Amino acid sequence: MKGGASVYDAVRQLRPAWMLRGRPTAMARNQAQLITYVDGVRYGVGVESLRSLPIRAVATVRYFSPGSAEAHFGPGHLLGAIEVVTLPN
């Protein structure tokens, strides 16, 4: 990945299936989105929110299935979640 790449770019290149999970189906549209977290705090909805995170500041990125996301973050994760853990300052 180049220096100016975002987490979105890395996920698109290395884990494209995560992005497909984040696309709502006709039934789920407006009812559910993939939720993103940064350092355990809800950051945004959908994979688009990952565009603002520079990859150089990231330690790990992890996808949670809907069941795992609900167990880890609470209810309301019908399409799962992506958690980004940043590097310490």
The reported pLDDT for the residue numbered 28 is 47
Cα gap 2→4, rounded to integer Å: 6
41-86 pLDDT, tens per residue? 999 988 889 999 999 999 999 999 999 999 999 999 989 999 999 9
In DSSP terms, 41 is beta-bridged to 38
Q: Token pair 């880890």 is at which residue? A: 72
85: amino acid identity, one letter: V
Under DSSP, the state recorded for 1 is -
pTM for the full model?
0.82
